[in-house]
Amino acid sequence: MLKTPVRAPKANAFAERFVRTIRAEVFDLVLVTGRRHLIKVLSEYEVHYNSHRPHRGLDLQAPATIGVFSTPKPIRQIERRELLGGLISEYHGVAA
């Protein structure tokens, strides 16, 4: 257990929100069979959460994409990538 930082009373609320999110999106749907499986599921979801999942507080951008500027390319095809055995799907545009 970690104690809430002294000058950050909102820290507990952020932690509780993350726990609720990961529980609803992953652990209510996946049966974890052991410690290694838990670490694999958490690490795969962490990459998805930080680099692909849209966040409302960030204008529906992922945290890893904030401040990254790229020139838009015409998209001809959309590719789907499955995570966690098909539980989560990520979609990426593929340039022509």
Flag whether 96 is in a domain: no
Question: What are the distances in angstroms from CA 8 to CA 12, 44, 82?
Answer: 8, 29, 37
Write down the pLDDT at residue 68: 67
**pTM passes above 0.85:** no
Domain count, the chain: 1
CA-CA distance, 30 to 54, in Å (whole number)? 22
Write down the pLDDT at residue 45: 86
Flag whether 59 is in a domain: yes
Write down the pLDDT at residue 71: 65
Full residue range of the structural domain in which residue 59 is found: 11-68
Write down the pLDDT at residue 7: 75
Flag whether 5 is in a domain: no
Task: Look up residue 63 and give its DSSP letter.
Answer: G
Q: Are 73 and 52 in contact (CB under 8 A)?
A: no
Flag whether 86 is in a domain: no
> Measured between alpha carbons, how far apart are the two ends of the chain, in Å?
50
Give me the average pLDDT of each 10-residue run along the chain (96 residues). Answer: 73 83 89 93 87 71 70 76 83 72
Taking each helix axis as running N to C, give the angle between helix 35-51 and helix 11-22, from 0 to 180 degrees, rounded to the nearest 10.
Answer: 110
Flag whether 34 is in a domain: yes
Write down the pLDDT at residue 35: 95
